[in-house]
């Protein structure tokens, strides 16, 4: 179940309405766009001055509303501003009415005020972009699409697609995708429309579609391989579909045209590092330094070089970089020295360096994880428990840090197959931090290992009630039922809900294929399992495809897939189990 219930894996919640409100008000209404966005006395003076020739009642009401704003009585202030915006042709009043309605969290009123603002202002584009965000926040997708198309249509700015993209990108990826699908359909012959649409496809994990679009982009006269972002987009899509060598080849190709592009070079190093080509990554960093794209005197660069040299077993070079940061970043020095000591098989020394790191430092939790690895490898379980107890004492009155530490401790004993103690720790966490989503998700994982599917179901259902859009929780519950061959219709329903939220997630696609397999719908199952396998070569997905091939009597395909992956993962338990099945055929 490693693909589906990993601790903290992909455990992300989307922006809630409160955060959307903050985004709309504090990003779209920034001071250079909206001169009355700050409610200080100077702005009251500006308002008074600007309305000095207007009806005195309007001026008085506006002043009253600003006093209410200063007292954070936004609802009443919004009503007053909306009322007076209908009595004057001053667009600044309508703009202010829209903003204060946003502060009040009243999107319907915000929309109504923006209608008045749109009616009387000359700056239609700004208003339309704000209305796009309001419609998106209200989940009125068709109206958001209509407003976006209108904003693009009337804009003479060459960056009109960028403006639309920046307006909408803070919302849920599905909303962004729906809006830009329509934009792209209308403007697919525009180079920049393609540029921004590709980014949205990548965000939605539509990698195959991205690859097809990027590989046809050279039909535009504006296209040039000197535009390095195309190279990064294409490499990202290939890498995500497990075509890793092609991804690196793409980057090398684009580097021929833009050898000194910082981001292109950084992405190249990143992929080489992910591929564990550490020597190549080091050599390329040296190339970047020689061309003054980076400096080894920079602390972050020195830390990266230290880690790469440790991974490449170039310990003397690693030591030089580690020493270079000692004066300015003692905690990173201690952490990296600890890593180096592990490689030199000096575990005791490594522990002493890791333990010096302050719990407020960014290296703290990574250091804790390294301590865990050492003690688990040596089966020092009692010592590890004592270590965690000491850490909790140091973290009193630091709930955020304590919560993270509880999850790390739970995971540590879970990975060591000490499931009962792991359950004790996560129970402690939930008792102290009731209804914590990460804790509920984690306890579900632990519960499965001790055959407590009742706890797993209760926790995941509770998490889903708290976060109905949590695709990972929906998928985990559906997959667990399917994997245990129970409640298959319900399992299918939950997995479908997860797919609606994350339609291109490999784990969820695999779950869908697996539940269809359990239902005996092998042809439909194959469609989903193959899609999942293209996105992720996780051995659990591989094992599901092999089992499907066996059921379909595609024995040669099953054996070929098995032999390919057993070479890569010779100790994988799932693949070893399948060997028995294949040998019996």
Contacts of 4 (CB under 8 A, 6+ apart): 472, 475, 476, 479, 480, 507, 511
Which residues of the chain are under the pLDDT cut of 50? 1-28, 30-53
What's the DSSP call for residue 304? H
Query: Strand, coil or helix: what is 516?
Result: helix
Residue positions counted in the chain: 585
DSSP code string of 42-100:
HHHHHHHHHTTTS-HHHHHHHHHHHHHHHTT-HHHHHHHHHHHHTT---HHHHHHHHHH
Secondary structure, 3-state, 336-377: HHHHHHHHCCCHHHHHHHHCCCCCCCCCHHHHHHHHHHHHHH
3-state secondary structure of 104: coil
Q: At 571, is the secondary structure helix, strand, or coil?
A: coil
Signed CA dihedral, 305, 307, 311, 314: sign only: positive
Tell me 381's DSSP state. Answer: H
Q: Provide the pLDDT for residue 55.
A: 62
pLDDT at 23: 44
- Global pTM? 0.81
Name the average pLDDT for the chain.
Answer: 90
End-to-end CA gap in the chain: 26
What is the C-alpha separation between 115 and 559, in angstroms, rounded? 64
Q: How far apart are alpha carbons 285 and 300 in whole angstroms?
A: 13
Question: Which three-class secondary structure state does DSSP give residue 148?
Answer: helix
Q: The tokens of 77 are what?
A: 């202030």
Looking at residue 56, its pLDDT comes to 80
The b-or-e profile of 254-269 (16+ CB within 10 A means b, else e) is bbeebeebeebbbbbb
Q: Where are the alpha helices (DSSP H) in 241-363?
A: 244-257, 262-274, 278-290, 299-311, 315-324, 330-343, 347-354
What letter does residue 16 receive in the DSSP assignment? Answer: P
Q: Tell me the C-alpha distance between 204 and 160, whole Å.
A: 22
């Amino acid at each position: 179940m490693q693909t589906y219930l990993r601790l903290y894996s992909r455990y992300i919640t989307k922006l809630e309405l409160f955060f959307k409100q903050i985004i709309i008000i504090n990003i779209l209404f920034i001071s250079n766009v909206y001169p009355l966005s700050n409610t200080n006395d100077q702005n009251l003076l500006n308002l008074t001055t600007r309305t000095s020739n207007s009806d005195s009642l309007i001026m008085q009401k506006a002043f009253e509303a600003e006093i209410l704003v200063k007292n954070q009585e936004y609802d009443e202030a919004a009503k007053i501003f909306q009322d007076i915006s209908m009595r004057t042709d001053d667009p600044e009043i309508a703009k202010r009415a829209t903003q204060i309605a946003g502060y009040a969290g009243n999107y319907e009123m915000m929309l109504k005020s923006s209608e008045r603002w749109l009616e009387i202002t000359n700056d239609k584009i700004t208003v339309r972009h704000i209305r796009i965000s309001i419609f998106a926040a209200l989940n009125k997708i068709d109206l958001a699409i209509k407003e976006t198309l209108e904003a693009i249509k009337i804009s003479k700015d060459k960056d009109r697609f960028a403006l639309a993209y920046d307006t909408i990108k803070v919302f849920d990826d599905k909303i962004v995708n729906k809006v830009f699908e329509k934009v792209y359909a209308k403007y697919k012959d525009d180079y920049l429309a393609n540029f921004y649409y590709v980014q949205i496809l990548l965000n939605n994990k539509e990698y195959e579609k991205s690859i097809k679009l990027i590989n046809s982009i050279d039909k535009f006269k504006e296209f040039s391989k000197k535009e390095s972002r195309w190279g990064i987009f294409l490499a990202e899509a290939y890498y995500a579909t497990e075509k890793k060598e092609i991804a690196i080849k793409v980057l090398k190709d684009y580097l021929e045209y833009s050898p000194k592009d910082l981001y292109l070079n950084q992405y190249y190093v990143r992929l080489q590092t992910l591929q564990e080509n550490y020597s190549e990554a080091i050599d390329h960093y040296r190339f970047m330094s020689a061309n003054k794209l980076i400096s080894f005197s920079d602390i972050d660069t020195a830390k990266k070089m230290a880690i790469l040299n440790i991974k490449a077993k170039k310990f003397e070079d690693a030591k030089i970089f580690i020493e270079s940061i000692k004066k300015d970043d003692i905690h990173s020095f201690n952490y990296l020295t600890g890593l180096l000591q592990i490689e030199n098989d000096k575990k005791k020394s490594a522990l002493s360096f890791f333990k010096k790191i302050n719990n407020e430092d960014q290296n703290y939790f990574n250091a804790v994880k390294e301590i865990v690895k050492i003690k688990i490898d040596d089966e020092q379980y009692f010592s590890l428990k004592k270590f965690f107890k000491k850490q909790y004492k140091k973290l009193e009155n630091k709930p955020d840090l304590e919560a993270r530490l509880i999850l790390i401790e739970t995971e540590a004993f879970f990975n060591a197959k000490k499931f009962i103690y792991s359950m004790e720790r996560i129970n402690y966490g939930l008792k102290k931090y009731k209804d914590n989503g990460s804790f509920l998700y984690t306890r579900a994982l632990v519960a499965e290992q001790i055959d407590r599917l009742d706890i797993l179901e209760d926790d995941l259902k509770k998490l889903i009630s708290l976060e109905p859009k949590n695709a990972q929780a929906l998928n985990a519950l559906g997959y667990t039922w399917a994997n245990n061959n129970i409640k298959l219709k319900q399992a299918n329903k939950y997995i479908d809900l997860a797919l609606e939220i994350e339609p291109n997630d490999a784990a969820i696609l695999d779950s869908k294929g697996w539940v269809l397999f359990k239902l005996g719908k092998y042809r439909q199952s194959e469609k989903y399992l193959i899609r999942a396998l293209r996105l992720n070569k996780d051995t659990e997905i591989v094992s599901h495809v092999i089992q499907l091939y066996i059921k379909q009597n595609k024995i040669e395909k099953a054996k070929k897939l098995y032999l390919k992956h057993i070479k890569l993962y010779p100790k994988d338990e799932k693949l070893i189990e399948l060997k028995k099945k294949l040998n019996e055929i």
